Amino acid sequence: MLEFMICSMLTIFPDFLFRRYVQGKRIGREINLYSMWFELRWGITACVILTLSLITLIFYFHPSTKNVTAVFRTVTILPEANGRVAEVFVGTNQKVAAGAPLFRLDNAQQQAALETARRRVAEIDAETAVAKTELAAADGMIAQAEGAYQQAQDELSTQVELNRLNPNVVAKREIERRQVAVDARQGAVAAAVSNKQTLETKIASLLPAQKASAEAALAQAQVELDKTLVRAGTAGTLQQFTLRPGDIVNPMIRTAGILVPDDRRIGLIAGFGQIEAQVIKPGMIAEATCVGMPFTIIPMVVTEVQSVIASGQVRPTDQLADVQQLARPGTLTTYLEPLFEGQFTGIPPGSNCIANAYTSNHDELHAPDISTSRWVYLHVIDAVGLVHAMILRLQALLLPVQTLVLTGH
């Protein structure tokens, strides 16, 4: 309507002035309801053509959309395992800090596993103490075996010397028996030394390795026990948190609630038409007005344009995708951020908004080799953005009336 009124001032109104003051035709006489089209046909035709051209030019180079939302992030509260709730520390709509405990699951099994792992560590410490005592006893066994070996060696040397002086005094069989006794004593010494080395290896390598494994099992049991206490991953406000002791929580079926973080969002997400994909670029200036803050225009900037359209995505399934199912046109997802800090204060998260994006040809207009026709055309594009800005401000004024009066909300 605004575009038609502006175009009529450039077409129909001059045509009427010509008919009135040049041809002398008056309203109600020569110009009436039945002869209006014939008398003002040139102005009306030009007005329709100019209006359609202006609307197309405005909405293409300065796109507008009502698919704008002040989105915010939510965090699902879930334990890492199934369990029955034993204790709840917070309530719904309560603000919590990062790391604050929310609820605790029944942890009897995890407590038992932790105690078992702790007892295993104590058992290995006791085995280490016993092994050190056995090591001291091994030194005594070595000394005893070496003494017996030395005694057997001395007796063999005596029998050999007597046999050398007088072969008839000592029997050869006796010397062989003494030699066997010496070899046995030597084997006992080797066994005692080997037993000591075994104990030293056990104390130096085996028991520390077993203790390390037991401590790892103890740490794992402690981790499993800690998982039963669910904490807030970030600071925020609890929503839909109706958990009570005795409830079963399953991360695959039932969640415990939703946490709305304090660091919610810094901008808007808008969905523009696909036909504007060649126009909308990062860095474009935009404006928005939101239902949560009426009568307010927020200057913004386009920070990112999603390179794909979500409605065309295909996921692997057990059925072939039919293109007819993807026929619904999607929108071009665009991210908008405020130009100045603090402009989103007071806007409820999730509020619906209306946004305009404006094409700017400032750099191209100052190019030294630009033609006159191109210069005029770009000036017209930039100038008609003012019409869209006026429309957005009219929408901001009428938005409360439309929401509260016309729709009955």
Q: 98 with 235, same domain? A: yes
pLDDT value for 165:
66
Q: How far apart are CA 174 and CA 362, in angstroms?
A: 122
**Contact partners, residue 54, CB within 8 Å, separation at least 6:** 3, 6, 7, 384, 387
Q: 274 with 167, same domain? A: no
Task: Tell me, letter by letter, the H, E, C secondary structure of 132-181.
Answer: HHHHHHHHHHHHHHHHHHHHHHHHHHHHHHHHHHCCCCCCHHHHHHHHHH
> Residue 378 maps to which CATH number?
2.40.30.170
Residue-number span of the structural domain to which 88 is assigned: 77-103+230-261
Q: 291 with 349, same domain? A: yes
Q: 86 with 143, same domain? A: no
pLDDT value for 164:
67
pLDDT value for 43:
75
Residue 92 covered by a domain: yes
Residue 39 covered by a domain: no
The pTM for the full model equals 0.66
Residue 40 covered by a domain: no
Ranges of residues in the chain with a pLDDT under 50 are none
pLDDT value for 133:
82
The radius of gyration of the chain's CA atoms, rounded to the nearest angstrom, is 47
Q: 66 with 88, same domain? A: no
DSSP secondary structure code for residue 42 in this structure: H
Q: 144 with 234, same domain? A: no
DSSP codes, 299-350: EEEEEEE-SS-GGG-----SSPPPGGGG-S---EEEEEEESSTTTTTTPPTT
Q: 117 with 194, same domain? A: yes
Residue 166 covered by a domain: yes
Q: 251 with 170, same domain? A: no
Residue 47 covered by a domain: no
Domain count, the chain: 3
pLDDT value for 59:
83
Give the model confidence (pLDDT) of 374-408 as tens digits: 888 888 888 888 888 888 888 888 888 877 777 65
Q: How far apart are CA 299 and CA 392, in angstroms?
A: 12
What percentage of the chain reaches a pLDDT higher than 90?
A: 5
Q: How far apart are CA 364 and CA 282, in angstroms?
A: 17
Tokens of 109: 């099994």
**What is the chain's mean pLDDT, rounded?**
81
pLDDT value for 257:
83
Residue 25 covered by a domain: no
Q: 180 with 237, same domain? A: no
Q: 184 with 236, same domain? A: no
Residue 133 covered by a domain: yes
pLDDT value for 119:
92
Burial class of residue 161 (count of CB atoms within 10 Å of its CB; 0-12, 13-18, 19+): exposed
